[in-house]
Amino acid sequence: MNVQEYMQQVGKTARKASRVIASANSEQKNRALHAIADAILREKTALLTANEQDLAEGRKNGMEAAMLDRLTLDEKGIVNMAEGLRQIAALPDPVGEISEMAYRPSGIQLGKMRVPLGVIGIIYEARPNVTADAAGLCLKAGNATLLRGGSEAFHSNQAIAHCIHEGLRLAGLPADIVQVLTTTDRAAVGEMISMPQYVDVIVPRGGKGLVARITHEAKVPVIKHLDGNCHVYIDDTANPDKAFNIAINAKTHRYGTCNTMETLLVHAAFAEFILPRLAAGFWEKGVELRGCERTRIILGEKVWPANDEDWATEYLAPILAIRVVKDMDEAIEHINHWGSHHTDAIVTEEYGRARRFLHEVDSASVMVNASTRFADGFEYGLGAEIGISTDKIHARGPVGLLGLTSQKWIVLGDGQIRE
Amino acid sequence: MNVQEYMQQVGKTARKASRVIASANSEQKNRALHAIADAILREKTALLTANEQDLAEGRKNGMEAAMLDRLTLDEKGIVNMAEGLRQIAALPDPVGEISEMAYRPSGIQLGKMRVPLGVIGIIYEARPNVTADAAGLCLKAGNATLLRGGSEAFHSNQAIAHCIHEGLRLAGLPADIVQVLTTTDRAAVGEMISMPQYVDVIVPRGGKGLVARITHEAKVPVIKHLDGNCHVYIDDTANPDKAFNIAINAKTHRYGTCNTMETLLVHAAFAEFILPRLAAGFWEKGVELRGCERTRIILGEKVWPANDEDWATEYLAPILAIRVVKDMDEAIEHINHWGSHHTDAIVTEEYGRARRFLHEVDSASVMVNASTRFADGFEYGLGAEIGISTDKIHARGPVGLLGLTSQKWIVLGDGQIRE
């Protein structure tokens, strides 16, 4: 069987399984999630062995340390995976929720019912825990899943798949609800993103290159996250302490996350006052500063000159670009032009500025007087997230269970016909 | 300037204009809608002349009568276009609506704000009124629009564009908010659906061939409507009068609409009782019946034999396929397999059947004891619709103003940082 035939079969099986999981009740889905968590803990040794096999191959092939780190599954990681599934089980089930039922003049009663999307394809890279996390979230939202992890995590992913299938079976559900591809052929990805008849949405998780390529080639809707080029704008009406704390937190709380600030914008009338204090704070944490001309006049030559490339860059590193803007309009223009529409914050005490910033900044999360680091599924109370979307269609910002569902219209009548 | 350069320029202009209309307030947008309506009425003669030019060319090129009919813009059509714009002005403005604001344990207050999608590309065929309808809806939802109508309606569309631009200018808004392409080059469509940097969503309106081709080739999300293969299932627990009225209405109220019933499913235990009465009703209206074997045994050979092609067909004509099913499970299976996930109804008096049908039928609109003909934007109270989506992503079923918007997260804090 060639890859195309294999993927057609996988797709058909997923579509069929999606009907079963779509009408499974909450109790059955939660039982399955706990049974998978139990199986993962029970099979700890097998998981560690499989992971060691992947790590050994990685080392042999000269894999970089950061990649090996992402690939590693230790005892704590295994416990976390199981715990994550139990947390998903504890979340309220969104499927079947009926809302907005109201009578129309014709006498029909119209509302919406929340329903699963159907089949979700997840394409990801080295982290094996995504296999359990993503499958668990999709399962709870009533969807069947096709999972395609990185070939470097093949054995780990197959071992996790074994636990998932065992859990599903113990809960009386077909194992086919979650399929982890058994091929490492790259052509399988091309097939998976070109089967709208079998796959309803693709969620690519990984580097920008992977996501951009999949988005460009997909014939299936994609929920994606490209860049996290986030801004904090300090207005001249800001409270200096809040400005200091938020800017330091947004940059230095963690450097590698997508909601980390990458460019700081400061109102010209406030720059001379706040920048020296901020720079001292950043330098104390070892952050390299790159600034516009005005910034360098205020802070001196320890600040590297910033250019357009800096405004466009998601450093994911202890580097920060700083620009002094003449007013909030220029700040908003900068953010909408150079940003990635992910998360942007203003620090201000002025009502009108806060209101305008909220309205005019075109990003998935727009904040007033809070650190950009809050933009994630746990902080937003979604329980868990499949990713953070920088798209506007369907799901925007952190995507949790609701983003893995849709709504259909329901109409209740007593024999109404259209006149 | 070649087509590609032209479209790049059009796209850039649209993106820029989208920022202006996104932050226009309701009063400004409504003023523009009324000013466009006024201009359309004022320019009636010019519109009729332009339309006559298109019609003359159509006739010269041997255009079919049905197509000429769709292309025709008469005085009544012009008044309706203007009236439609005033109705859109009367709808509540969805943009800026803030909902679900709630405090999180961290102290931040989190909610959602409704925002425009940005730039919407509409690709349509002969009907020139779509130019005003679609532009009006997109405008009210705060979006810039690129419109590409059929080349056969070129002069009509340009004349309507002139009125739209005049109205926008009189309301103090840039005319670029609505751009009607001035080229009839087919390559322009290919460019338009491949510019995710300038176009946020494509809405194709027209025949299935056009929609399927655009969906397949687009690099931009598409809100689309493919088929309307709708079903009514009459359960053995149905009230016979409701069953008769709903089935007759769903088929014969209008033949050419996407929410018209195309296949009737009848429970085996009810078929002998209800089918003769129904057949008499359909025949009286001149509807051709095609049935499964069991249907033909009950109704005789005046019923043509139906095959798999019939179950898959949207007739858009006075033809109805009928199938006797052994129970509701078989009916649901038939609908989910052969249907187009548009609109499907059950007729039953039994609580449990109604509940299961609502849950298990995977369609944009699922109805109990009501005619499928209710599935449209006006009946659903959306005011107007840009189309009916058979997709699950973003918008499902009738798409009105809300479907032309998205939601961003907003966070209000008092200096909160992430610990």
Q: What would the pLDDT profile of B343-355 be if each residue is shown by its tens digit?
A: 999 999 999 999 9
The residue among B66 and A372 whose pLDDT is bigger is: A372
Phi, psi of B26 (to 5 degrees): -60, -40
Helix ranges (H only) for B304-409 are 308-312, 328-338, 351-360
DSSP bridge partners of B388: B398
Q: Specify the pLDDT at position B45.
A: 98
- Give the nearest chain A residue to B333 (CA atoms): A19
Q: What length does chain B have?
A: 419
Mean pLDDT of all residues in B34-61? 98
B100 touches chain A (CB under 8 A): no
Instruction: Write out the E strands in A181-306.
Output: 201-204, 230-234, 261-267, 288-291, 304-305
How many Cα atoms within 13 Å fall on the side-chain side of residue B91? 27
pLDDT exceeds cutoff 80 at B226: no
Q: Specify the pLDDT at position B338.
A: 96
Which of A294, A287, A242, A293 shows the shortest CA–CA distance to A261? A287
- Measured between its terminal Cα atoms, the distance across chain A in Å is 56
Residue-by-residue pLDDT tens, chain A, 419 positions: 899 999 999 999 999 999 999 999 999 999 999 999 999 999 999 999 999 999 999 999 999 998 999 999 999 999 999 999 999 999 999 999 999 999 999 999 999 999 999 999 999 988 999 999 999 999 999 999 999 999 999 999 999 999 999 999 999 999 999 999 999 899 999 999 999 999 999 999 888 888 989 988 999 989 988 789 999 999 999 999 999 999 999 999 999 999 999 999 999 999 999 999 999 999 999 999 999 999 999 999 999 999 999 999 999 999 999 999 999 999 999 999 999 999 999 999 999 999 999 999 999 999 999 999 999 998 999 888 888 898 888 889 999 999 999 999 999 999 999 99
Helix ranges (H only) for B253-327 are 268-284, 293-299, 308-312
B413 touches chain A (CB under 8 A): yes
B366 touches chain A (CB under 8 A): yes
Which of B378, B348, B379, B377 shows the shortest CA–CA distance to B361? B348
Answer whether A282's CB lies under 8 Å from A295's CB.
no
| A369 neighbourhood in chain B, CB within 8 Å | 412-416
Q: Specify the pLDDT at position B269.
A: 98
Kindly determine whether residue B200 and residue A393, on different chains, have CB atoms separated by under 8 Å. yes
Distance CA B360, CA B353 (A): 10
Structure token pair of residue A410:
């329901």
State the nearest Cα–Cα gap between A152 and chain B, in angstroms: 30
Q: Specify the pLDDT at position B1.
A: 84
Distance CA A192, CA A342 (A): 27
Of A354, A368, A409, nearest to B365 by CB-CB distance is A409
Give pTM, 2 decimals.
0.91
A143 touches chain B (CB under 8 A): no
Distance CA A313, CA A307 (A): 10
Kindly determine whether residue A416 and residue B371, on different chains, have CB atoms separated by under 8 Å. yes
A22 touches chain B (CB under 8 A): yes
Which of B13, B14, B38, B44 shows the shortest CA–CA distance to B171? B38
Kindly determine whether residue B381 and residue A110, on different chains, have CB atoms separated by under 8 Å. yes
ipTM (interface predicted TM): 0.92
Answer whether A319's CB lies under 8 Å from A288's CB.
yes
Indicate the helix (H) or strand (E) that contains B18. Answer: helix B3-22
Helix ranges (H only) for B258-362 are 268-284, 293-299, 308-312, 328-338, 351-360
Q: Specify the pLDDT at position B399.
A: 92
DSSP B92: P
Q: Specify the pLDDT at position A1.
A: 84
Distance CA A108, CA B345 (A): 13
pLDDT exceeds cutoff 90 at B390: no
Kindly determine whether residue B411 and residue A365, on different chains, have CB atoms separated by under 8 Å. yes
Which of B196, B402, B401, B111 shows the shortest CA–CA distance to A397? B111
Mean pLDDT of all residues in B218-224? 90
For the residues of A134-179, what is the DSSP string, one character each? HHHHHHHTT-EEEEE--GGGHHHHHHHHHHHHHHHHHTT--GGGEE
Q: Specify the pLDDT at position A209.
A: 87
Question: Which residues fall within 8 angstroms of residue A237, CB to CB, at 6 or more apart?
Answer: A348, A349, A350, A353
Q: What is the mean pLDDT of chain B?
A: 95
Q: How far is CA A49 from CA A43, A149, B80, in A?
A: 10, 18, 72
Q: Give SS3 for B148.
A: strand
Distance CA B1, CA B20 (A): 27
pLDDT tens-digit readout, B99-151: 999 999 999 999 999 999 999 999 998 899 999 999 999 999 999 999 999 99
Distance CA B35, CA B29 (A): 10
Q: Specify the pLDDT at position A227.
A: 85
B97 touches chain A (CB under 8 A): no
| Angle formed by the axes of helices B129-140 and B75-90, nearest 10° | 10
Q: Specify the pLDDT at position B126.
A: 84
Cα torsion for B377, B378, B379, B381, to the nearest 10°?
80
Distance CA A386, CA B49 (A): 56
Instruction: Read off the pLDDT band of B265 (50, 70, 90).
Output: very high
Q: Specify the pLDDT at position B363.
A: 95
Structure token pair of residue B241:
């009068």
Q: Specify the pLDDT at position B411.
A: 97
Q: Is the dihedral of CA A103, A109, A115, A118 positive or negative?
A: negative
Answer whether B205's CB lies under 8 Å from B125's CB.
yes
pLDDT tens-digit readout, B286-336: 999 999 999 999 999 999 999 999 999 999 999 999 999 999 999 999 999
